Structure 1
Amino acid sequence: MRCHHFDAGTCRSCTLLAMPRDAQVERSRARVEELLAPFAAPGGPVWSPPVLSADAGFRAKAKMVATGTAAEPVLGIATGVDLVDCPLYPPGVEELLEQVRWLIRRAQVPPYDVARRRGELKHVLVTISPEGELMLRLVLRSTAPLPRIREHLPTLLSRAPRLRVVSANIHPEHRAVLEGREEIHLVGDAALRMRTGDVTLRIRPQSFLQTNTEVAGALYRQVAAWMDEVGPASVWDLYCGVGGFALHCARTPGREVTGVELSAQAIEAAREAAEAEGIPATFHAADATTWAIAEAARSGPPEAVIVNPPRRGIGPELAGFLEDSGVRDVVYSSCHPTTLARDLAAMPSLQVAAGRLVDMFPHTEHEEVVVLLRRAAPDILAR
């Protein structure tokens, strides 16, 4: 991929862009496999070829910082570099961002000035589906600009006919976080339909979404294939988000799959997707660790567990539960291999039987990996 922003030195977010793609992937593969080698099952894990991303146009989400003025808005990074034409985004994102720029001018919504703590528009967030349908979120300091924004939304929709969801996120605090807690639906559908792998997910404005849709689909299929290989009758998907893993695994007839996620909005979206697809998965809005411990005490553990935690990992409490639970198979999808290794050290009975590097964020140092853990026999652990 060539990027004129990188060549000009104005954006270095893709830190490895100068490195050939095959070298990027090989470096990550070697580093991850070496990191996880101490936790391998006897005979070593079976490493499948990495899940590879497209070189460009793969990001389903654009997270733009708004700078400049209402008359001349800049959408890009905090230094004031405009990245509307970033080659990481698929067709349709740049076109919508240009229409958002029009909206900012027409509605006279001043971008937020961090130094002066003045202005309104902090971020512009765009999500695009594989079919080119779009969701737009405007992160605002207050609700003050909403009447002006609403006035011009009909014209925006006519200028951007593939726009399906528009909302405003209210973020009044002067903090370096992307968004606030309050979300206001402005127009369109409640959720964006996102075909990912073999199912159509429902993405609500504040739901977590894997940034690389094609790679996410391959990841979900890989986990479902592993589950079909080990053949559990019951599966818990902890940190299930909008249900990507759970819905893929529940497509196998006779398998009982339960997804657990703290976000009530994500669980609502997962239930809607399950109903629309006719997939008999069950979902609960709860803390994954608390729910798993209580449910195991009430009705016993499942035969298999999937965990897909944030960068901090699953932590000692859930790792301790899994270690002592007797669960036969665990799939751990990790967006931070270092915390995965820490969690594996706390679960010596569960060893890496198979693994696969996941090329979710090309041209960066970010590494993701998914591993199948199998419970070792007691005599092996005693050696």
Structure 2
Amino acid sequence: MEINLVDQDHYARHGVPHEQLKWLRGNDPVFWHEGDPDRGWPGFWAITKHEDVVHVSRHSDLFSSSKKLALFNEMPEEQRELQRMMMLNQDPPEHTRRRSLVNRGFTPRQISMLEEHIREICHGLVDEATAKGSVDFVTDVAAPLPLYVICELLGAPVEDRNEIFEWSNRMIGSEDPDYAGTPEEGQAAAMEVYSYANRLAAQRREQPRDDIVTKLLQPSENGESLSEDEFDLFILLLVVAGNETTRNAASGGMLALFENQAQWERLVRDPSLARTASDEIVRWVSPVNLFRRTATRDTTIRGKEIKEGDKVVVFYSSANRDEAVFASPSRFDVARDPNPHIGFGGGGAHFCLGNHLAKLELRVLFEVVAQRLPNLRQTGEAKRLRSNFINGIKTLPVEV
């Protein structure tokens, strides 16, 4: 079988290359994937089984996020230096210090306090969709939800959500013709987010509030606080990670329910299944397809010799369909339990900080949609994002 796990045109046309990943899990789960010299991509090890993705995730000492960063594309060293100030691109102990500072705003207790507000947002979005009749589930429902929640977390005016949406699209969609400009425009969007973060910080220092921005600017119990750059980069991470992943899980989840009508009918009959459905949606969609690590020393996985400096890429979308872990992994099941998916990362230092929030948003959204829009139907083709990093859907036309 010809293997190309990073062809963005394939992702745009068909989504994740599940047939290739299934073959690799069965035949060559630690696979040396040829690079693309024209794109500046070196060859890399493709890690496709659940157990091995967890192993790489939990051993930051062996597989670094900082050395060559966590994203797939290569970057010159001077750009890496700035990116290493972002938690995504750090290893312990620096990552541990930073995470302990930002964790304060994302405890399960803090997040659970948002449930009623999230429910109000979902009902409001359904009201608007019902009034229109025909809508795009992505831009009218799935995208606004996390944007409203991010504005709530930041204590920012809800009018800012359109700007946040546009910045996020420009940064993530740089390889997609509908969103993209040049990499420079993606950089420009990042600079606009930094500027926005600075303005927010200045406002909260003047007028503290009960929101995450104020919490992040205050010193911790041991007197540590985030520097200006650290704060700006965290807001950038929140704007992208807190928005893109929930939006695409919700859109991909709705598409999965349309494609598995019996599961949609189960959810409509019993909206309390949204609790298990939210995890199944994250497993099925795997909103983040891959992350990159760099081997810090010679090591082996399944007898394959990985050399110091080798590029190692973990595929969550493959791990989440591993036959060794999931019964009937190619079946979408809203009641799947237990569900040991790793859609929020394979554990270890980089386990998703916002996992409680994402699950809450998805659970409430699908409860409300199942209760209020039982006859929702798809009216046009879903268009996918041209990206091997984010499993994204750009449009999903529906009729209420």
- Judge same fold: TM > 0.5, yes or no: no
| Higher RCO (CA < 8 A, seq sep 6+) | 2
Structure with the largest fraction of helix: 2
Q: Name the TM tier (shorter chain).
A: under 0.3
So what's the TM-score if we normalise by structure 2?
Answer: 0.24
Structure with the largest fraction of strand: 1
